[in-house]
Structures are given as structure tokens and as C-alpha cells.
Structure 1
Amino acid sequence: MSPAVPVTLNDVLSQAADRYPSHELGFITSSAHDSSIQVKTFSSFNQYVRNLARAMLEWGKPAGSVIVVYLTEHEDNMAAVWACLLAGYVPCLQPALSAQQAHKEGHVAHIKNLFSSAIWLTTEAGAEQVNSISGLEIHLLSALKMSASSHDVPADWVAHTAQPDDDAILFLTSGSTGFSKAVVHTHRTILAACYAKGEAYGLTPNTNVLNWVGFDHVAGSLEMHMAPLLFGASQTHVHASAILSDPLRFLRLIDEKCINIAFGPNFLLAKLTRDLEKRSDLTGAFDLSSIKRINSGGEAIISKTAQSFVAVLKKLARDPFKVSFVISPGFGMTETCAGCIYDPVDLATTEPKREFLDLGRPIRGCEMRIVDPEDGKTVRGDGESGELQVRGPMVFVRYYNNAEATSSSFVEGGWYRTGDVGIIENSVMRLSGRIKDTVIVHGVSYGIPELETYLQTVEGVTHSFLAATPYRAPGQETEGFIIFYSPTFDLNGEDASTKLFATHRALRDISVKMITLPPQLIIPIPINHMEKTTLGKLSRARLISLFKQGELAKHISRSEELLSEARGASFVAPSSETEKALARIYAGIFNLAESDMSASDNFFELGGTSIDVIRLKREGEAHFGLPEIPTIQILKHPVISSLANYVNALLSKDTQAEEYDPIVPLQLTGNKTPIFFVHPGVGEVLIFVNLAKYFQNERPFYALRARGFEPGHPFFTSMDEMVSCYAAAVKRTQPKGPYAIAGYSYGGVVAFEVAKRLEAMGNEVKFTGLINIPPHIADRMHEIDWTGGMLNLSYFLGLVTKADANDLAPTLRPLTRKEQLEVVWKLSPPERLIELQLTQEKLDHWVDIAGSLIECGKDYNPSGSASVLDIFYAIPLRGSKADWLNKQLKPWDGFSRGQATYTDVPGQHYTLMDFDHVPQFQKIFRGRLEARGL
């Protein structure tokens, strides 16, 4: 039996199973296609993890061994952590590994060295990621589960009796400034945090908690699992991708599971608000009366965002008067067991005082103070800014095997130096910046030193005279950054404008590729005005404070003058009425002055996205009174003067039926090998617009679009006809190799065939990228009838949800084709139909195009081989990711003469290229291109 008051984590599990055996842990996995929740009672979970722990002993490791737990699903992580604790091992939770091979190998070697051993517990897919690294002892969770199924230990079995000050769990820091440190938390530190958090949140055995933060994060494992378990609270854990791909699920779960406490960082609140505020069809759709508190952390919360979020939830609630909850911004770190300072605020009744919500007061046992950052101990007065320090029983004991980092993190009296700049006023804390070298984009930390290292390589930058610093402009939704640098050329020299233009373009490109975001501002400062510290460093704090005080205004205005001069050199004033009208529309979309628009401006080089394309199309049609400007023509004519010529031809009804050309150029700058991307099974290429912009000034990006969209163009009738047409088009566009070809979904098998065809003509194909498609597709093609094809397309276009697409098929099949279309039409969000400018006739025709591609795939049987294949895999449409990889995708090995690679990418089959995932996808994809020497 456990003690009356738990003193170790093992006691927490025993108490939960004894007192609340039928309370539940629910899990929604990354591959769940609906809202189905896998449930384990506390009692059954307790039995399950003790059997796993017993099976772990068969590894024969001494008590206290560190086990690196590398798993993606909440249930697997949770079970592995408890099994380690009960077996007497110390779990170390490993977040997703870098997609860059060198960084990944360096990190794994560092971890191996740190623990002087390397025992990993992972899945087949995880093992695939680390199997190129020697000296690891890898255990598969599937094998451990199999072994555990033969055990049935008593419900209170433990291999090892833990003591309060034993190491319990290790968490890895983000490693944003070099390699990760391992934060050691003992049973005592974790329990101290859990008791104090539970008290602060008002946890009871009747509380229901919703968590979607990964278990490798202290907020996911300690704040949203251990603390609720200590108080007997039921929990639902959802894989983040399930919420990000369908934000409504967040509200459905609050409604269905009567959730009282949830976690939502600033970027999720902003995303939910953006996605849901226009959904008038959902007014009054959810019972949200149960929710009482939403904790938030990870990045600062904008007051307006939080207020809009509260307003949206009230609007969508069945009874707005019953909706009463606090949003509780929190401050916490891995080192403090997540949140230790909170400020619960009811935004329906309280008007925030500042642009960001305050972070509040410490939980029981925790203390905070603001000190002079230089000496780390002189306490600052009320309302003065300085370094935030905290102490208390929830603060970690040490960094594993790193005495130096541990001692430099504490000052006398046991105060931990957080590295954040804060202000305490009337006992309430708020942050005013960071001493640390990171910028947070949508809750993800990126290392500034690493970014600076790459930016230093740009021609035009004086080495070691460049600094990037985090900055959030007033009213900005997420954090950004500014680059300060000294140019190698004279800003008053005769060719200064062209050099500055090229330098700034290169700095912007590198930033977008590394941290998915361009700088808000690039400020060139002549070297004699750039001060360094006595240690020869640029002071970021000083540069940002000079900027805020307006001291750099003259450098900024000189830069703007030179850049507009550079633009002026290639500036062509719009002359015709059509060009002027389009210039006005472009200016409106990109928030630029109409007078700055050149007739030679390219829509995509200005930053146009797929959503902007739709806006340009709509505004152009409205202005010119045209029934339609086809999207494809905007993609083919992104330059103002060229689009104006096309529009004039439409207005004079002088457009000849164009000859079909599958090639759609989405980005033409850069001199590296071009990439050709084959359309997915819906035949259209708009999905690639957001991806293409990441290749600006690096390599041209061409998409291949199916035949049949334009009047008079027949559909393809066989795979061979399509491949011949595409291979010829690629050769016309790029006469000589080496070639780089890729295809998304259905387009993957077409890309494979095009690569083979090009090789058969004697050309070198150095890269063939296949995205989430197995080699054998014929059976799947035979399964898809007209109804299935229409629902697939409708889901892909965002007209119906995944759940609708699955549920509707049986009820639609008996109906006529027209009736089926009408059902989908009624379900479609009106704003999405307007955005896509769909009519029922167009949707009907589009289903036929997709159907023609399915017909071409029905007899497809892969044969032969390509010189090399790179396969990218995401969560499949059905089944587990591991089965998808091992059973469906691995057969590509037989069709590649070189070593095929398999790379995990974030997102699900239909979402891996959307706004949330494309920033990560492009980094991974470009990494593979570079690895192939392109």
C-alpha cells in the first residue's frame, strides 16, 4: 500500500489506482481519423504499466540506468515513463529529432556521451531515424508490449522502492544555443510542483483535464498528467496534429468530455480565433459551460488575441451566459516543472492593462525576484526591470553530468537565474524581454546564434558585425526579429543601392529557410557606428534599445532610400488602365503604396500565397467585370504587365484556346537545379504555391498540372500518355540534366515514372522525391468510385471535414450524381466556396478530372527502377504510421538502384503542405535535395 500522502511518483500511481480505479485516461492519436478516444481506467493503466516494467527487467540493466524514451503518442510516452519509474530506471524524454542528418547525429552522440550509455526505447519509425548511428542499444516498444503481455504482476508490484530524492525524470532543454542539457527532476521536485499546481488550479477527483502538448514537454507530462493524477482527475490527451488540423475538435472535446481545464498557447488561441470567428454557421453549436480555466505558456499572450478568443467561444456556445472561464498565462521552464507563476484572468469582466497579459504571482512554495543582471544579486525596486530569478521546492536539482552549467545557473541563496528580463509591480510579474538567445515563432524556439552563423556568410556582411535580436512590434501576433549588420561596402558608394538590395534579399532568404520567418527589419549600420563590448561582442540589448529610442532612424531611412533606388532602377511605371488597376489590387494585397508598384513586379516575389492568389482573382474579376480569371492564368502570369495583357485579351474576347502545357512556373529565381513537382490525385497545383516561395532566389520551382481543366482539353486516358507528356514538358523547360522531380500523393508514382523516362533518354536524375505514396496503388484506385472520388476531392478542398467524408459515403451512394453534389454543396462553408470560386458545375467537372486520373492508375503496376528515391511520409489516411511505413512504403526499396531514404514529415496526408506544416516540410525537403548534391 502507498503512504497516506504520496512522497514519490510511484505512490501517486498506487493512490490513483486504489482510490479512483474507474477514473479515465483518454487518448486521441496522431492517426485518429475521427474523434475516437482510446480509454484506459486508472486501474487498467496501472496493471498495464506494471507488466511493462516487469518486462523491462529482462533487459538486465542496473537500477538507476537512464533510458532515452523516443515516442510520439501520449499513451506510449506515459506508459514508458511509468514503466521506467516502476522498474527503477530514469526515463529521459527525447523530443522529435532534427531532420538535418548532421544535427541529428551530433545530438544523439552528445546524449550518448552525456549518459555514458545509450539505451533507447522507441518505435520502428524512431529506430529508422537513428539506425545510422552506431553504439546505440535500441529496444522497440512493440517488442516490450509483446513481452509484457505474458506477465500479470500484482497491482502494487515494484522492482525498486524509490526515495524522494532519487532522480525521477530527465527532460532535455531545447538546445537552441548548442546541444541540449538534461534537466534532472527528483520525485521531491515534481511532487512539490504537482501539489502546488493542483491547489492553484482547484483540481479535485471530479475535474476533467484536456491536454494536447507533447509528453516530452514538462507542461504535457507534469502539469497536465502528473498533477491531475495526484488529485484523481480524469484526463484526455490529444496528439497536437489532431487539434491543429481540425481546431473545432478542441471545442467538441470540451463539449463532449465536460472539460474543466485545458492548455492553449498564444499561437493556438490566435489560430482558433482566426479559423472560427467567421463561422456564423456554428453559432450556439457547443456546450462550453464546463470549461473553467485555460492555462497558456510558451510565448507571451497578446491581450487582444485572448479577448477575441473569449468572445468567439461565447459566440459559439449554446448558452453564452453559462460560459465563465479564466485564461491563465503562466511563466515556467523545464527547470521549474513548467508553470510556477500564474495570473488567472476573466477577460469577460476584466479589461487588460497592457498589450500582453501579465504573468502574475507564484504558486505556493515558489518565490520570485528581479535583480540587476550584471551582478545577479542586487534586488531591483518595485516596477523596475531586471533579471527574473525564482526559487522553491519545484526548481530542478542539477543538470545531468554538467556541474559547470548547474553552478552558473544559481546564485547564492538557491536563486535560479531564468535568463528572462522581467518587472514585478505590486507583487505581479510581467516579462519585458529575454536575455536568452532564442526567437519564438508559433511556440517553437529557434536559436539566434545558429541563425547568425548562417547570416554571417552573406556577401556584403562584415564578418562578426551582425546581430539578430528578437522583437515584437506593437500589435504583432507572434514574435519576430530584427537584423543589425555592418555592410562591407560604403553606403554612399556609387553601386551601394544594387549591393544593398542583393545583401538584404540574401539575408531575408536565409531567415525564411532557417526559421520560417523573414526579419521585420534589416538595419545596415556603418562599421564606425557599430559598437562592440570589451569582449568583442555586439550587444543585442543595446542595439534594440537604440532602435526603440529612434537612434537608428538615420540608418533606416538611408537603407530605405537605397532600396527604393534599386527598385527604381528596374521600375517600370504601369501605363495602361489595366496595369494601373492591377497595380492598385497588388498594392492592397501587400499593404504597399500604389506609387511603389512597378509593372514588372512579380506577385510571388512580393510574397503572394495561395490565399492571396484567390483574393487577386476575386478582386480582378470584380474590377474588370469578368465572369472568370482562371487561377491557372494568374499562376502563369504573375507579373503585372503580363497579367494585364492576359486580362485585356479576356476583355476583348480575343483569347485563343491555349495549347495545353502541363508546366506551371511558380517561382523562377535562383540558379540551382530546378525542381519539378507533379500534382496530387486532384490534378491541381495551387497546393504548391506556399511551398514554392521558400525556394525564391535559390532554384526555379515548376508544378505539373493535369490535362482537362481548360475547355477543349481532353483528359489523359493512360499513365503512359501522361508520363510521356510530362517528360517531354520537363525536357522542353530544362533541356539538360541533372534533374530533380517530386510528386505529392498520386503524383509520386507519376514522378517515379517520369524519372525513369528521363533516365531512359540518357539523362541524369539526381533526386526523385515521393511524398506519402506507396508503389502499389492499383487496388486503392479500384476502391474509389465516383462518390469516393467526390468526397476525397471535397475533403482535399476543405469543403467537408474528414469525419463527414467518411460518414457520408454510404448515405450518398444510392443518390443520383446531381443529388450527391447538392448534399456536399449544402455542407460546404460558404466562404470557402467563394474563396475557391466554385460552382456546382465546376466541382462536377473537377470530380471528372480526378476520376480520369484514377482510371489511369487502375492498371498501374510499378516496374524497373530509378537511380535513387527519397520517400517522405506523414500520418496516413488510415492505419498506423509504423504500418504505413513498413508495410506500404518500404517496398519502394525494390525500385531504387541507390539506397532509398525514408523521412518523417509533420502533419497528415492531406495537411502536410498547409500553412501549419509547410514551414517544417520545406526545411526537411530542402535538406534532402542538398544531401543529394543539388
Structure 2
Amino acid sequence: MAPVAVDTTIHDLKASVARTSPETLPDVLTYATFQYPDHELGFVTSSAHDSSIQTKTFSQFAQYVRPLAQVIRSWGKPIGSIVVVYLSEHEESMAALWACLLAGLVPCLQPVLSAQQSHMEGHIAHIKGLFGSATWLTNETGAEKLLSIPDLDLHLFSELKESASALGRSEFKPHEPKVDDEAILFLSSGSTGFSKAVVHTHRTILAACRAKGENYGLTSETKILNWVGFDHVAGSIEMHLAPLLYGASQVHVHPAAILSDPLRYLRLIEEKSIEITFAPNFLLAKLTRDLEKRNELFGSFNLSSLRRINSGGEAVVSKTAQAFAATLKNLAKDSNSSCVISASFGMTETCAGCICDPIDVLANPPAHEFLELGAPIPGCEMRIVDHEDGVTIRPDGESGELQVRGPMIFVRYYNDAEATSSCFVEGGWYRTGDIGIIENGKMRLSGRIKDTIILHGISYSIPELETHLQTVEGVTHSFLTAAPYRAPGQDTEGFVVFYSPTFSLDEEDAPAKLYATHRALRDVSVKMITLSPQQIIPIPINQMEKTTLGKVSRARLIKQFKEDQLGQHIARAEELLSFARGASFVSPCTETEKTLARIYADIFNNNISDVSASDNFFELGSTSIDVIRLKREGEAAFGLPEIPTIQILKHPVLSSLASYVDALCSKEGFQDEYDPIVPLQLTGNRTPVFMVHAGLGEVLIFVNFAKYFQNQRPFYALRARGFEPGHPFFGSVNEMVSCYAAAVKRTQPKGPYAIAGYSYGGVVAFEIAKRLEAMGDEVKFTGVIDIPPHIADRMREIDWTSSLLHMSQLLGLVTNQDAIDLNNSLRRLSRKDQFDLIWKLSPPERLIELQATLEKLGHWLDISGSLIECGKEYNPSGSVESIEVFYANPLHGNKDDWLNTHLKPWAGFSRSEPTYTDVPGYHQTLMDFDYVPQFQKIFRSRLEARGI
């Protein structure tokens, strides 16, 4: 690449720096580049499988973005035009933002688009209407989603870089904005409909940066670690622009890299001597769960540099903060280290956190269930007023609407004067929509006026949820509402549904109707926001109060619920639901059934008297961990050396499992014929899903996934042959496919079929679909999850050591980083020593959960090896009607390359153009608790798009 002229002269730079207080964002970049040219911006991408950091100095970064800006200016857009930036990696997003600013255009940062096609198209149409027109800057993955939308002015970031690299030495003068010009637009969550565009000027952003810098104690020596997406106001302003103003070095990590490997968070803090970082409540809870029992790691990390963890997005539970701080203290080398957590309140409209309070939660135990939010940052003011009139000040200690004002508050919603005027009151006070209490100058939140539910830091629209809940049979139209609610001690927020039934609770068939209605309400909730209501309360229509505008009074209902004034309705519902369950209730009668009933009751926190011999373990809401617990406790209770997991999966009904256990205890055994079909979910009347195992051959990983299909469609998993004594391994893919296709036909004699496979199972699913079509059956859905069509070469590259490490990763015995670190050293050891080393490194609690032994791990590896041998001879041929390809961050390499080079060849095996859908997480974590809630929504939407 030819060097690009830096036309800003030393004289110009000195003149700029002489203005010790930059007035606009381009001034900030110029100032930081001149004053601290060697300070660094570091990036860990979504595809990185270790802690390696790609770095650019401030000077290198400035030289990198200037030619990008020059190319953007060549697009010929008028100054002030809007560019929607839709990029996933921090470095790309940051470069695009600065390039737009230097070119004189206004970047609008677009969060991840909805997986629901109709919602995505509606959002994009809304954005086009809001801005009149807009240019989109994205990558190849984003373009895949956007190409179906007509009349979009679409540019690829890769082409922008290519054009910039082709520039020779040329003069480029960056745009010089005025302080009150629009600088950056941020899109609101859209929790109450389509997004509003929040306008921040150079003045508001720099006011926020200076206030944050003073509050955080930022200096040029500060080091920041950020993992929040750049499209979020905290990621871009709080963790980039504010530190840049003070010359602070920064490390920006893709969220998936932290969520998939929590230890990476600590390694980066140690390696880069991080002082300030960010972690919302749900991450504090996750880190605590993952690390608090890792005794072998205690005292392992040098965390002495860490002085503050900011936390926002949702309320911070005091017990969670204390547990996290205690865990961090145990993991730190210095036992005297302390952890200061700063819970903060902020919104897109306030440039992120504007009220915060750093607390050493171990030295100063919190007095309330949630951490106090404290006092405003410099320049910001807060007050509590009557939420009805919006102006009457509430006395100290009384709750009311929180309002804030200050120079960091946004100026308006773009092209929405009505929304702007409605959120401000006299004196420039912004109505946050939150309910708070101020005592002794410190604030804490106690509720929310806005129509949102916040789950794990993500806002969901209550009106949108209510719209779908209203469609449930048994609900009286316009007499339903949902309200956010957090039970005492709960890590994240939940919600309660209030509604009036269309039927009288005194009718003879009321129990059955109520049971069906509540089941449907839970199903819709899981589909919409991945969570069931904490409580569903039916209230007679004559007792359901509405406002003068004809709306159900959500605030009054949640107040009555908290004050236990709805107890009679809850009790009546429980009585009827208990009666409905009792209609099919079968009392456990044998000693084995009674023992299993006790275990079922303990696992699901039920009364043993409520457990029926006809209860299905999966329909009660079990997870893969619950299966392991049932296995472990059953073995202990009956004195059995092993209850095979597969038999629990095949005998989920209590009475059936009891019969199996009795056979084991009587030494008769249970010599089943091999059947690859494992029914994980049997309710619902829509087209069943058949899911083929990954390369380990096991199906336990699908338990968490299958529960999302309850009452909608059956979910069957296909398990490899060879786990049980006397069952030989498969000798070829053809033999496997013949067996699986016959099993599918036995289970579902006629189409249409929905067949999918995860990883290795994807090519097997393709072959099954092809076989079924050859029989004259219709296959409406062929799902390939993160696997290319040509696997033979990949299989031949997998040797014993690679297979052992891959299996250990998928089982959760080693981390991605462990696997990389061990790769070379393991190869110098014998197979026995390799197993011994993996065993020593494995978390003890994980080995206990899996009931793992060295012998069992060896057998699993043998099964995996047999599947690899089958794959070495596999060459795809022929085609099916359609293919749905789902892809995540690959085990190795770049996601775009994974898609374009390895997955796009599926087009040669589909008679229609395949659909390629980006999904969250890594290849090996798709079915984990952290990712499956989002993956199931995407997967289900694609099933529905295929009309099944």
C-alpha cells in the first residue's frame, strides 16, 4: 500500500493541541494522536480462540481511518448525510465511525438485526422512512440479510478498505464540524415499537466524556477493557471516546469471546494491567457461577491493577455483587485485593452512565437488595417527582419518577418532534420513565414506568409481547397485561401476566380450559422472549380495573400483586390447575416409583404429593444438568453402578423409568434393540424435528434445545450406534443413513419432514433428506448447522490427539485456550498419559456431572473415532429441494471466510438457493445455556418460514 499523505501539518497539530479542550470529536482524535501517538487500541475478535490481541497505536489508527474517510467522501453524499453502520467487530465499527466523522457524514450505529424476517424488514423500512434515505455500511454477513431489501444504498466495509488501500499520496482535509452539529445517532432498543434515533451532538458527547473522565479518574496512564458492542452507547462513548479524550489505552473484546470463556476476562485484566472494565449484572452472575468452585484457580491471577468495574444495563443484585467480589478475591494472588463495583444508571439518551456509586461491596455490605446507584456525575442533576404530573418534587425517601438534566442529555429524537417534546418537562428535565428513591443524595431504582422487560441486559417490548399473548384462546381481548417483576434474590428480571379468562372459573370444564390457556401463554412467552412468566394470574373481568383511556392498569395490578392482594385469584387458579393435573394423575405405587417421585420433586422443587407416575421428565422443564442429576441420584438411591443416560432419555415417564430400574436391580437387564431415535419432546401437533448428533454421537446436548418446542412440535434426536454393549459402530455414512432414514420413517411414516444436524450431523441430515426424497417423500426443511458439505479432508486431518482435544472441548473438560496450549505438548505423550493429563485438568464438578470415568471417556473417543473414519470416505453428491445453513464463529479462522469459502458450496447440493443464517456463539457453544435461547428463536423462525 502506498503511504497516504498526512496533510495536517505539525503547525496545524500544535494549534489544535493548544486548544487544551477539544471542542468536537475530530479534535479528540487529532489531540490523542499528537499527544499520545504510541498509546494503543487493542482488539480481540469474535473468531479469536485465545487472548491474542491485534493492536494499533493511536497514530497508526488515525492513518488507517483517514483514507477510509477519503473514500467515503468520494461517495458524493452531502455533508451531514446519515450512514447506518452495521458491523459486528469493534475495530471495523470504530474505524467506520471515525471515517464517517472525518468525511463529514453522521454515523448511525445499528445493533444486530432481528432474526424474524418480517420484523427486520419492518425495521429497515422504518429507518428508510425516518431518514428519508440512508447509506448502509456493512460486511458480507450483514449484506446477506440486507440484499433482500429493495432500494438500499449498500456498501461493504471490505470494499471500502480495498479502495482506501489503492489510494496514492493525496491531500485530504477532514471535515470541521460545529459543536452543535449532529455527531452520532444511536438507535433505541425499539422496546415500545420501532427504534427511535437518538441524536447526540459533539457538545453532548464531549460533555459526557469529560464528566465520566472526572468521575472515573481517567488519565493517559489508565487502561480500559471493553466487551460491550460498539453499537451500544456504553461501548462507543463510555469505553472508547471518553478514554480517548484522556489518552487512555484500550482493549476491545467481542462479547462472544468473553461469554464463551469467562477466564479470558481475567487473563486480559492480568495481561494488560486493566484498571477499569464493564460487567452487567448477568455477567457478574455468570462469572460467579463458572468460577466460584474452581478451587484449583484460587490465587492464580494478578488482579492488582483492577480498581473499578462499571455495571449497568440492569439493576445489580447486591448478593450477586458480593458473591462475585468474593470469587474475584479468591482468584487473585493478593488476598488483600478489593473489588470496587460501580452500579450505574444510564440510557442511550444520557450517553450511558450518568448516576453511579463505586462501592467496595465486601468492605461495605450493601443495605438494600440492589446496589445503590449513588450520585450524578459532574454536570448532571437528578430529582424524583410525582410520576402523574411530572413536576411535583417528592420528599427525600419517597419514590417517584426519576428525571435528569445536564449537558450530556441528548438534544432530540431524529425527525420525531412529538416524541422529543413528550419526554422533556419545563426546565430541561428529561423523563427517564424509571421509578426511583433518593435518600441522603443517593439514588436507587424501584421500578419502571416504561413498557419494557429487561432480561440479561436486553430490553423486550411489553406491548409486543402482549399483542401475541392476546391471541391465545381463552384470553379476553384487551384484558391482558404483562408487568416486569424481580422476585427477591433473583439474578435477573422476570415478569407476571394478568388476564381475564373468556370463561368462568366456576364452569365444569374450567380446569381443563385454564390449564390449556396457561400452557399456551407460557409457550408464547418462551417463543417471544425466551422466558416463561413467573406467575400467570386470571382475574374475573369485573375485577380487572382499566384506566380512563381504556387500558388495563398495569401499575395497580403489580402493586396489588406485591402487596399480596391477589392471593384469592392465585389460590383459585392453583386449585383448578391442580385439579386439571389430577385428572391424569397416577399415584406412584411401587417403592421404585415412590423413590423416583421423591427425586423428581427435589429436582423441580415440587411437593412429592404433586408428582404423578405419568409425569414426563422433559415436560416438567428439565435441562441437561437435571438429567445428570437424576442419573446420579437414581444410582445412589438404588445402589446401581450405572443408569445409562440414554435410558433416562428413552424412559422419561416416571413409571417407565421405574420399570427399567426394576429390571436393572433384578439383574435381568434391559437388552434393547438399537434404536437411534431418542424422543426429547413429544407434545404438539406440528411437523416434528429430527436432529442428528454431532461428532461425539451423543444427544444430551439437545435437551436444552428441545424444551423450547414443547406443545408446538415433537423433537427427536438421533444417537449414534455403539454406546451400549453388543452394539457395533457404524462402518460407513451410507450404513448410518440407511439406519437413520428407516428410524425416521418408523417414527413419522409420512412427510413433510424436518431434518437437521449439528456439526458432523449436518451432512448426515442432508443424506437422510436425500434418501427420504428418493422414497417419494417431501422434505420441507433440511437444516445444516455449522458444517461444510465437503468433510473428508477435514476428517483426514483429525488424528488421535486432535480428536481427544475436540471431544474434551465439547464435553466442557477443557477450554478453547487449554486446547490450543495443549496441542503440541500432548503429541509428545502416550495415549494413556494424554488421557491422564486431560483428566487432571478437567473441572471436578464437570466430571461428576458427566459421571465420567477414564474408561467412559475412552469409549466416547472410540465412537467419535468411528464416525471420523466414516467421514473420511464421504463425498457429497445429488441434491435436495432446499437447505437452511446456520453458521456461528468457527473453531478456527474468520467467520466471513468460514461462510464464503466453506459453507457457500452447499449451493451445489440444493435445487433452490440455500438460506445462510448467522447465529450467536461459537461452533462448540451453540447448544450451551448462554446461546441456545437465541438460537432456538432463530431456528424456529426458519422452520416457520418454510411453512412447517
Deviations 1:839-867 (A, max 9, x none): 11111111110011011111111111001
Deviations 1:372-431 (A, max 9, x none): 111111111111111111110000011111111111111111111111111111111111
Q: What residue number does 1:792 align with?
A: 806
Q: Please say if 1:12 is aligned against 2:28.
A: yes
CA contact (8 A) 1:94 1:172 kept: yes
Equivalent residue for 1:171, pick from 171, 186, 201 = 186
Q: Please say if 1:51 is aligned against 2:61.
A: no
Q: Please say if 1:520 is aligned against 2:534.
A: yes
Q: What residue number does 1:189 align with?
A: 204
CA contact (8 A) 1:359 1:430 kept: yes
Q: Please say if 1:440 is aligned against 2:454.
A: yes
Q: State the one-letter code of the partner of 2:350.
A: T
The alpha carbon displacement at 1:811 in A equals 2.2
Q: What residue number does 1:285 align with?
A: 300
Q: State the one-letter code of the partner of 1:663.
A: I
Q: Please say if 1:409 is aligned against 2:423.
A: yes
Partners of 1:300 and 1:249 in 2: CA distance: 25
Equivalent residue for 1:477, pick from 461, 467, 491 = 491
Q: State the one-letter code of the partner of 1:36.
A: S
The alpha carbon displacement at 1:806 in A equals 2.2
List alignment gaps of at least 5 residues for structure 1.
none
Q: What residue number does 2:112 align with?
A: 96
The 5-angstrom pairing of residues 318-717 of structure 1 reads 318-321=333-336, 323-717=337-731
Moved over 4 A (4+): none
Q: What residue number does 2:827 align with?
A: 813
SS at match of 2:250: strand
Deviations 1:565-594 (A, max 9, x none): 111111111100100000000100111111
Q: Please say if 1:252 is aligned against 2:252.
A: no
Partners of 1:507 and 1:160 in 2: CA distance: 54
Q: Please say if 1:236 is aligned against 2:251.
A: yes
Partners of 1:884 and 1:737 in 2: CA distance: 33
Partners of 2:298 and 2:742 in 1: CA distance: 52
CA contact (8 A) 2:328 2:339 kept: no
Partners of 1:799 and 1:283 in 2: CA distance: 18
The alpha carbon displacement at 1:153 in A equals 6.4
Q: State the one-letter code of the partner of 1:657.
A: Q
Q: State the one-letter code of the partner of 2:181.
A: D
Deviations 1:683-719 (A, max 9, x none): 0001100000000000000000000000110000001
Partners of 1:4 and 1:697 in 2: CA distance: 64
Point out the more displaced range, 887-896 or 802-811.
802-811
The alpha carbon displacement at 1:879 in A equals 1.3
Deviations 1:220-264 (A, max 9, x none): 000000000001111010000111001111111111111100000
Partners of 1:788 and 1:265 in 2: CA distance: 36
After TM superposition, the score normalised by the length of structure 1 is 0.99
Q: Please say if 1:911 is aligned against 2:912.
A: no
Q: State the one-letter code of the partner of 1:302.
A: V
Q: State the one-letter code of the partner of 1:194.
A: C
Partners of 1:349 and 1:833 in 2: CA distance: 36
Q: What residue number does 1:205 align with?
A: 220
SS at match of 2:741: helix
SS at match of 2:919: strand
The alpha carbon displacement at 1:874 in A equals 0.5
Q: What residue number does 2:5 align with?
A: none
SS at match of 1:345: strand
The alpha carbon displacement at 1:158 in A equals 3.5
Q: What residue number does 1:148 align with?
A: 164
Q: Please say if 1:60 is aligned against 2:76.
A: yes
Partners of 1:505 and 1:633 in 2: CA distance: 28
Q: What residue number does 2:145 align with?
A: 129
Q: State the one-letter code of the partner of 2:384.
A: I
Equivalent residue for 1:782, pick from 781, 785, 796 = 796
Partners of 2:363 and 2:173 in 1: CA distance: 50
Partners of 1:740 and 1:781 in 2: CA distance: 27
Partners of 2:20 and 2:484 in 1: CA distance: 49
Q: State the one-letter code of the partner of 1:267.
A: F
Equivalent residue for 2:154, pick from 130, 138, 144 = 138
CA contact (8 A) 1:369 1:379 kept: yes
SS at match of 2:358: coil
SS at match of 1:320: coil
After TM superposition, the score normalised by the length of structure 2 is 0.98
Q: State the one-letter code of the partner of 2:180.
A: D
Q: What residue number does 2:845 align with?
A: 831
Q: What residue number does 1:741 align with?
A: 755
Q: Please say if 1:215 is aligned against 2:239.
A: no
Point out the more displaced range, 585-594 or 50-59.
50-59
Q: What residue number does 1:85 align with?
A: 101
Partners of 1:157 and 1:212 in 2: CA distance: 33
CA contact (8 A) 1:47 1:153 kept: no
RMSD over equivalenced CA pairs, Å = 1.0
CA contact (8 A) 1:51 1:153 kept: no
Partners of 2:345 and 2:855 in 1: CA distance: 54
SS at match of 1:64: coil
The alpha carbon displacement at 1:812 in A equals 2.1
SS at match of 1:10: helix
Q: Please say if 1:40 is aligned against 2:41.
A: no
Q: State the one-letter code of the partner of 2:939.
A: F
Q: Please say if 1:313 is aligned against 2:322.
A: no
The alpha carbon displacement at 1:152 in A equals 6.3
Q: What residue number does 1:117 align with?
A: 133
CA contact (8 A) 2:329 2:339 kept: no
Partners of 1:206 and 1:153 in 2: CA distance: 34
Partners of 2:172 and 2:840 in 1: CA distance: 57
SS at match of 2:568: helix
Q: What residue number does 1:878 align with?
A: 892
The alpha carbon displacement at 1:820 in A equals 1.5
Q: Please say if 1:725 is aligned against 2:750.
A: no
Deviations 1:268-287 (A, max 9, x none): 00000111111001010000
CA contact (8 A) 1:171 1:216 kept: yes
Partners of 1:787 and 1:340 in 2: CA distance: 52
CA contact (8 A) 2:396 2:438 kept: yes
Q: State the one-letter code of the partner of 1:445.
A: S
Partners of 2:823 and 2:83 in 1: CA distance: 46
CA contact (8 A) 1:50 1:153 kept: no
Q: State the one-letter code of the partner of 1:303.
A: S
Identity over the aligned pairs, expressed in percent? 75
Q: What residue number does 2:871 align with?
A: 857
CA contact (8 A) 2:81 2:134 kept: no
Q: What residue number does 1:900 align with?
A: 914
The alpha carbon displacement at 1:831 in A equals 1.2
Equivalent residue for 1:107, pick from 111, 120, 123 = 123
CA contact (8 A) 2:109 2:185 kept: yes
CA contact (8 A) 2:781 2:883 kept: yes
Q: What residue number does 1:161 align with?
A: 176
Partners of 1:439 and 1:493 in 2: CA distance: 34
